[in-house]
Structure formats: C-alpha cells, structure tokens
Amino acid sequence: MKTAMDCVKLARDPKRPHLKDFISIMCSDFVELHGDRLVNDDRGLIGGFATIDGVKVLVLGHNKGSTIEENMTANFGMANPDGYRKAMRLAKLAEKFHVPVVTFVDTPGAYPGREAEERGQAEAIAKSLEFFSRLKTPVVVVVTGEGGSGGALAIAVGDRVLMMENAVYSVISPEGCAGILWRDGAKAPEAAEALKITAPDLKRLGVIDVVVKEPAGGAQKNHKVAAANVKKAVLAALKELKDVPADELIEARYAKFRAMGNFFNC
C-alpha cells in the first residue's frame, strides 16, 4: 500500500519528467517568451506559446530543471514575484487572442528570499489568484509533481484541475507541518498522512477533477507514457471548454472555487 510519503518521494524524484520534458513530448513546437516587463525574467516560472495536436495554447509552468545548473538558475521551480507577474502578462495576451492556457504545477513553493519579499511575493501571488479567477479564456491546470502551497495555487486557478497519480498538492510541506504541529520535522510521514495530499484524496475533497494515470512504478520510469497520458487528459479538458462562452466560463470557475470548503448549510 502506497503511503502519502511515498507519493511525496515520487513527486520529488529528480528523474521525474519536468516541465521541459512535458513540453518536448506533448507539443510539436514551443516558443518561450520572456520577462515581466518590470524588472526580471524569472527562470523558476516560464511560459510560451505551443501546439498540442494542432491546438494552439499558452503553456505556463514551474521550471524545476533537470540538471544542477538549471536547478540553480531556476531555484528548483520556486518562483519569484517576477515569475507570477510574467505569467499574468502572458495569460492576458492569450486571453486577447482567445488562446487557452495550460499550466504545469511543480514547485516546493514560492521562493522565500529577501528580494522576493521586497518585490512583493505576497502581492504577486494574491494578484495572480484574483487575475486567473477572471481570465476570459479556458485554463487547464495539471499538477505534475509538487503542488507547494500558495506558490503552486498562484497558477492553479483553472476551469479543470488535473493531477498526476503520484503528484502531491498541499497547504504546507509535510516537513514544515511536522516541524510546527509535531515539533519534529522527522514526523513528516505522519503529517503527510494527516494533511491528505495525494491525488485520490484531493479528488474526494473536490479540489481536483481528474487523476492522470502514471506508468507502473511512477512517471520517472517512462516519461513518454506519462506525458502521453497527460496530453490525452489535457486535450479532453480543452475540448470540453472550447465552445463555452467567456462569461459562462468565468462564472463556472467562480462557482467551482466558491464551493470548496463550503460545509455550512446556514
């Protein structure tokens, strides 16, 4: 029986397919666009236009990187405020031309750095949540690895939220939670269990719509099969959303998130 902590380990496996692997397997082309037009081009969160089976999309995603050099320049996919502001800029562009947005979520969390705070990490995430909730073009989210708290959610407000079988998505890392509530980071497996962070649990809680199957043993065993499964699920979601008028789309998106955690019949 796979535990929540087993999924955490699989989700963090360095050999797991990362954003660039998904793009190269799923898309026939990809043109990256850079910069937030303010201060920087964040490498932890990147985006550009791409084609998936003839469908033109904007791809946005956390860029963990697959080599040490890439890991370092991209902060292991921990985005700075500049990354979230770039994501909004590109999504606005996609909206202008009615191009749907596909986001790939894989981050330990937003970057906790001095400049990140000075440039408004909190404000950038908040704005992103507000912005994507009203974006008048379809948004399909795929949680592919680590869905780390606010830094993940900032690009995960969408019409359909898909999640890979061994991905995790949580309000806080199991280690962080264990450190605070158990006063012992080593109790992370207990915390992981208690927090309910696996794809089947999140499906039950109504936070995600679709669990995407992974090859036996995990996505790291076969990138091609993993990405093909994601591709199929993304295309199916895009097809469902294609002809929905923009106003209906954002009302349905509001209703979707509005219903989360409403246990109160009063």
Partner 1 sequence: MAWFVEKTEKPKIPPAKALWAICPKCKSHFEKAVWKKNNCICPKCNYHGRLSARERIAQTSDDGTFAEVFRAVSYSDHLEFHDATGPYKAKVEATIAKSGETESVVMGTCKIDGHKAMLGVMDFAFMGGSLGTGTGERIARACEQAIAERRPLVLFSASGGARMHEGILSLMQMAKTSAAIARLKEAGLPYISVLTDPTTGGVSASYAMLGDINITEPKALIGFAGRRVIENTIHQKLPDDFQSAEYLEAHGFIDKIVERAEMKGFIAKMLEYWGF
Min dist. Cβ of residue 162 to partner 1 (A): 15
Q: How far is residue 192's CA from residue 173's CA, in Å, rounded to a whole number?
A: 8
Q: Whole-number minimum distance, CB 216 to partner 1, in Å?
A: 27
Closest distance of CB 256 from partner 1, Å: 9
Q: In angstroms, how far is the first alpha carbon of the chain from the final one?
A: 39
Task: Decide whether 17 or 44 has the Cβ nearer to partner 1.
Answer: 44
Give the nearest distance from C-beta 238 to partner 1 in angstroms.
Answer: 21
Q: Tokens 């949680």 appear where? A: 143
Residue whose CB is less far from partner 1, 196 or 213: 196
State the number of CA atoms in the 13 A half-sphere of 8 facing the CB: 19
Give the nearest distance from C-beta 232 to partner 1 in angstroms: 25
State how far Cα 184 lies from the chain centre: 28
Neighbouring C-alpha atoms within 13 Å toward the C-beta of 20: 15
- Alpha carbon 131 to its chain centroid, in Å, reads 16
Cα–Cα distance, 139 to 37 (Å, whole number): 23
Q: Is the Cβ of residue 48 or residue 158 nearer to partner 1 in the bound state?
A: 158
Residue type at position 182: W
DSSP for 67-101, please give it.
SHHHHHHTGGG---HHHHHHHHHHHHHHHHTT--E
* Contact criterion met (CB below 8 Å) for 42 and 83: yes
Q: 30 vs 131, which CB is nearer to partner 1?
A: 131
Separation CA 44–CA 62 (nearest Å): 6
* Least distance in angstroms from the C-beta of 189 to partner 1: 13
Positions in the binding site for partner 1 (CB under 8 A): 110-114, 116-123, 125-127, 129-131, 133-134, 149-150, 153-154, 156-157, 169-172, 177, 180-184, 187, 191, 194-197, 202, 205, 207, 253-254, 257-258, 260-264, 266
Residue closer to partner 1 (CB basis): 225 or 241: 241
Q: Is the Cβ of residue 24 or residue 73 nearer to partner 1 in the bound state?
A: 73
